[in-house]
Amino acid sequence: MKVIGQTWQFENKPVIIGTGTIVGPEEGEGPLANDFDYVYDNIEINEKTWEKAERKLLEDASRKAVEKAGIKEDQLQFFVGGDLMNQIISSSFAARQMGVPYIGVFGACSTSMESLAVASMLVDSGGAQYVMAGTASHNCTVEKQFRYPTEYGSQKPPYAQYTITGAGCSVVSDKGDGPAVTYATIGKVVDLGIKDPFNMGAAMAPAAADTITKHFKDTGRQAKDYDLIVTGDLASVGLPIAKDLLQQNDVIMDGTVFADCGLMIYDMEKQKYVNAGGSGCGCSAVVTYGHILKRMRKGELKKVLVVATGALLSPLSYQQGESIPCIAHAVALEMGG
Yes or no: say if 109 and 201 are a contact pair by the CB < 8 Å rule.
Answer: no
| Count of residues making up the chain | 337
Question: Tell me, what DSSP letter sits at residue 274?
Answer: G
Per residue in 241-255, pLDDT (tens digit) is 999 999 999 998 876
CB neighbour class for 269 (10 Å; exposed up to 12, middle 13-18, buried from 19) = exposed
- Which helix H or strand E contains 57, and what residues bound it? helix 50-69
Flag residues of the chain having pLDDT under 70: 147-153, 255, 337
pTM of the model: 0.96
3-class DSSP assignment, residue 232: coil
Please tell me if the domain spanning 2-173 has the same topology as the one spanning 180-334: yes
- The pLDDT of residue 194 is 93
* Phi-psi sector, 93: left (phi>0), alpha (psi -120 to 50), beta: alpha
CB neighbour class for 11 (10 Å; exposed up to 12, middle 13-18, buried from 19) = exposed
Quick one: which of 221, 49, 32 has its CA closest to 138?
Answer: 49
Per residue in 148-204, pLDDT (tens digit) is 666 666 788 899 999 999 999 999 999 999 999 999 999 999 999 999 988 999 999
Which CATH code for domain 180-334? Answer: 3.40.47.40
Yes or no: say if 165 and 138 are a contact pair by the CB < 8 Å rule.
Answer: yes
Q: What is the dihedral of CA 229, 247, 188, 180, to 10 degrees?
A: 20
Alpha carbons 180 and 177: distance in angstroms, whole number: 9
Q: Where do the domains of the chain lie?
A: 2-173, 180-334
The amino acid sitting at 319 is Q
Alpha carbons 296 and 148: distance in angstroms, whole number: 38
Which listed CATH number (3.20.20.120, 3.40.47.40, 1.10.287.130, 1.10.730.10) goes with 2-173? 3.40.47.40
